Structure 1
Amino acid sequence: MNIWGAALTLLVSTYTGEASLPGVAVAITKGDQVISVQGFGHDSSGTPITEHSKMTIASVSKSFTALAVRQLADAGKIDLDRPVFDSRVTPRQLLAHKSGISDRTLAEKSLPQPENAAGAVERAREALRNAVPDDEFRYTNTNYHLLARLVEQASGENFNAYLKKHVFEPLDMKDTVAIDVTPRDLPPDYRKGYGYAYGFSVPLTEPDRFVTGSDGVISTAADMGKWLAAQPRLQPQDGMGWRADQQGRLRHNGIWFTGTAGQLLTSSGYGIAVMSNSGFTLGNEGTYELENGIADVVEGRTPPEPKSYRLLTDLVLAGLTLLSVGLGVRALRRPRRFHKAWQVFRLVPLGVLLALPTLLGLLYGGGRDITFFQLAHYSLPLVAWLGVSSAMNLSLAVVRWVR
């Protein structure tokens, strides 16, 4: 039975247009049956997205890592409650992001990137030594980097090879692979995702990042349908590798700077996976709302009208940038005297710009790490506005200071 009717097609088409998503792939299951897989839009080469187009699933990859850990725990090769890596941290705490490690204790994106899972453990030695596990949820990719290495130690196999042999192949996920480092290890037939600025989607290369265990799985809608269809027999009661939303549904979402993805299991037995080739940016919160809308349609509800503030956000920032230029030029042409102490306030935009990675990390992830280069992927208009405003105010402060 194929339920991909006009309502779903209209929903996805409307959302992708409203949110300026060049390409989207969707899989829907009911119980252990794949109901529909379909692609919309195009990739960065202009080729139409299909159910076989390879796309990132970003942090949805953590569900696969959790399954690998559970397999080895069931085989008696991993004790979920025994501390690992000469620390007080247990695998169960790593799975639940309650290890005491966070992006504040280990800035996983800013620090030099490891080449493999063993290197990730070495990088995390100090954070592990100082970690005090508790019940506080602190989301960080480092927890799943460490779990990938634990899988290697317990199985005697490379982590990516383990996933292929024990997860992908048994589920017939023929087009799914796991990688270590972006963009170096991306498959040859993987097409670049997109960044977004000022109303334009631009093909971009994903920044150099270590992604083993955390967000390194590349898949297709067809393969994600097989994954979701297997969940009734794979999904344990503890939901490790998944998170419960406000409605009690299990889900996990993921973001790259050039792609986003999400998966959702509803209480009525539907499974939904969505992958987009447009990155997480200011005004684009990923595939979360589209997953919810699809769930509404398949469960017989009317979804809310799709809304995206992506273009509006960038246009406002463009206006602020032009305003900063205009006011700055005017002030430089007609300098007025102010007490020198007031010139300190001219440095506020520069201070905000320098603090922006920290501020956004606090706003979006309770202290997540991000570099300035990655910040430009997230919102070039925001960086441009603060950069221009900083330059104009700094120039004006210098001119007035020397007068």
Structure 2
Amino acid sequence: MTRLFLVLAVLLLGTAAPAAAATNGIDAYVRAYLDHTGLPGAAVAVTHNGDVVRVAGYGHDADGAPLTASTRLPVASLSKSMTAFAVLQLVEQGRLGLDEPVTRYLPGFRLADERGARITVRMLLDQTSGMADSAFPDLRLSQPHTLAEAVDRLRDAPLASEPGAEFHYHNPNYEVAARIVEVVAGQPFADHLRTRLFAPLGMASSTTVDGPPAGTAGYVRAFGFEVPVAEPDWFTGGSHGVVTTAEDLAKWLAAQRDGGGALSPESAALAHTPAPGRDYALGWRVRDGLVSHTGEWFSHTAAQILLPDGYGIAVVTTMGMALDNEAELLARDIATLVQGGSPEPALPAGVLADRVLAALALIAVGLAVVGVRRARRKLRWWRVVPPLLPLVPLAFLPQLLGVVFAGRRGTYGQVLYVWPGLVAALAVLALAGLTVAVARARALVSGTRARNPEESGETRGDAQWASANRRSGS
């Protein structure tokens, strides 16, 4: 009996030691990442084969309060995978069909394009409905307040492609899917998630909201400074409205192995399986052997990753959307760490880009000073035009950034959240150019006026000389 206890003790110590090492390694790395990048705060959940490896909060929120494993934070578009789970639950109950048209469950569903009648439930979840930001820029439009309103406003939405033909990441796909859940289940979407998904998984601190609640302020970066900002008011229901904790995210990650009792293992696997030739499944993206998804609010970012060896990683940060999703950067570094690698904290691309933009802005100011001083040299009207060119990208900035951000077009205010450094740098460039253009224009005008009196004087002198000659000749 004593020998048996010794064997069990050795086995327990053998499993506890790697777990403790993993926990210590995660803690040390996340703190090093925050110190190196200036990221104000992050919440992390790591699981392995259903067991919790680490749940913790690091840093602080926008109010200065420490983040913990129980701090409630928005996970943005990680919500899509949860909406997909809710749809699949109804499919398992025989109340929904993935390949049935949306109009079977929402008879009032109409688009401006009659092809919208062919959109199926599956097309909503794998984002091949043909709806797209390029055709219906929902970020720029008046925001709905309920899922019913979100569906109704699509009556003015054209299609960007044939239903089922192309992938377009578009939040309204999941707004419609959530509305289907609401109608078929016969209860508000938030209540359905709470009772049918969150409760069975033990996610007691999780909920879904239709708009940013109070207390969800975060940060944006500008020229290396972290600036606290309130989340702007926009509709989040169904597609990016879940607010949860690191503790609950660990339970969510564990449920991806076999459905966690809320869904069958087969349906859970279906959520992670894209159609042939595609990489987006049902609320999850599958690339390079990783099953993952990211989420972005203007003041927070999130990421979740499932590794082939059984690890699950979720990260939520208090830094808003930018060139890089900082939660994804940190989550991928943690993935490297738990797989035995040695990641090194690196500055996000946006920080490096801001340094370049700051340098360009300073150079522009210097050139503007020189340009104003030399405005009277080589007076030509065409020289007024080149300094005005920076006004062009500033005027069309939301459209230009839409190309960078996969066709998603926002407003100037939203661009200011996403990349304040770019807006500020372009404004400085435009102002510097405008100053030089005005100086050159004034020099041209004053130069023209100065020449006119001289020319008039010369003309009068010539006339007087000619008149005097005529008198002397007579």
**What TM-score do the two structures reach when normalised by structure 1?**
0.92
Cα shift readout 1:339-393 (whole Å, capped 9, x = no counterpart) = 434533333211111222122221132x112211011111212101111211232
Once the two structures are overlaid, the 10-residue window that deviates more, 301-310 or 234-243, is 301-310
**Distance 1:401-1:148 versus aligned 2 partners, 3 A rule:** same
**1:353 to 2:398 alignment:** no
> Counterpart of 1:313 in 2: which secondary structure?
helix
- The answer as to whether partners of 2:76 and 2:241 remain within 8 angstroms in 1 is yes
Q: By percentage of residues, which structure has more helix? A: 2
The match for 2:80 is 62
Question: In structure 1, which of residues 155, 160, 170 is the aligned counterpart of residue 190 of structure 2?
Answer: 160
Q: Structure 2 matches for 1:261-272, cutoff 5 A?
A: 261-272=302-313
Tell me, in whole angstroms, the C-alpha distance in 2 between the residues paired with 1:143 and 1:342.
Answer: 50
- The answer as to whether partners of 1:104 and 1:369 remain within 8 angstroms in 2 is yes
Question: In structure 2, which of residues 292, 295, 319 is the aligned counterpart of residue 251 of structure 1?
Answer: 292
The match for 2:321 is 280
Question: In structure 2, which of residues 89, 93, 108 is the aligned counterpart of residue 71 of structure 1?
Answer: 89
Question: In structure 2, which of residues 247, 272, 289 is the aligned counterpart of residue 222 of structure 1?
Answer: 247
Residue 191 of structure 1, CA deviation: 4.2
The match for 1:205 is 230
**1:233 to 2:262 alignment:** no
- The answer as to whether partners of 1:255 and 1:261 remain within 8 angstroms in 2 is yes
**Unpaired stretches in structure 2, ≥5 consecutive residues:** 1-15, 103-108, 111-116, 260-267, 273-281, 445-474
Letter in 2 for 1:232: R
- The answer as to whether partners of 2:52 and 2:250 remain within 8 angstroms in 1 is yes
Question: In structure 2, which of residues 266, 284, 292 is the aligned counterpart of residue 242 of structure 1?
Answer: 284
The match for 1:174 is 204
Once the two structures are overlaid, the 10-residue window that deviates more, 307-316 or 211-220, is 307-316
Q: Structure 2 matches for 1:327-338, cutoff 5 A?
A: 327-335=367-375, 336-337=377-378
Question: In structure 2, which of residues 23, 26, 31 is the aligned counterpart of residue 8 of structure 1?
Answer: 26
The match for 2:6 is none
Residue 128 of structure 1, CA deviation: 5.7
Residue 89 of structure 1, CA deviation: 1.1
Question: In structure 2, which of residues 48, 51, 60 is the aligned counterpart of residue 30 of structure 1?
Answer: 48
Letter in 2 for 1:241: G
**Distance 1:264-1:400 versus aligned 2 partners, 3 A rule:** same
Q: Which has the higher contact order (CA 8 A, sep 6+)?
A: 1
Question: In structure 1, which of residues 77, 87, 93 is the aligned counterpart of residue 123 of structure 2?
Answer: 93
Tell me, in whole angstroms, the C-alpha distance in 2 between the residues paired with 1:14 and 1:129.
Answer: 46
- In the alignment of these two chains, the number of paired residues is 395
**Unpaired stretches in structure 1, ≥5 consecutive residues:** none
> Counterpart of 1:203 in 2: which secondary structure?
strand
Tell me, in whole angstroms, the C-alpha distance in 2 between the residues paired with 1:56 and 1:238.
Answer: 22
- The answer as to whether partners of 2:50 and 2:255 remain within 8 angstroms in 1 is yes
- The answer as to whether partners of 1:88 and 1:132 remain within 8 angstroms in 2 is no
> Larger radius of gyration, structure 1 or 2?
2
Residue 299 of structure 1, CA deviation: 2.1
Residue 337 of structure 1, CA deviation: 4.0
**Distance 1:309-1:82 versus aligned 2 partners, 3 A rule:** closer
Residue 36 of structure 1, CA deviation: 1.4
**Distance 1:88-1:398 versus aligned 2 partners, 3 A rule:** farther
> Counterpart of 2:70 in 1: which secondary structure?
coil
- The answer as to whether partners of 2:216 and 2:231 remain within 8 angstroms in 1 is no
The match for 2:220 is 195
- The answer as to whether partners of 1:89 and 1:131 remain within 8 angstroms in 2 is no
**Distance 1:121-1:51 versus aligned 2 partners, 3 A rule:** same
**Distance 1:338-1:71 versus aligned 2 partners, 3 A rule:** farther
**What TM-score do the two structures reach when normalised by structure 2?**
0.79
Cα shift readout 1:86-119 (whole Å, capped 9, x = no counterpart) = 4221111111111111101111110000111111
Tell me, in whole angstroms, the C-alpha distance in 2 between the residues paired with 1:222 and 1:280.
Answer: 23
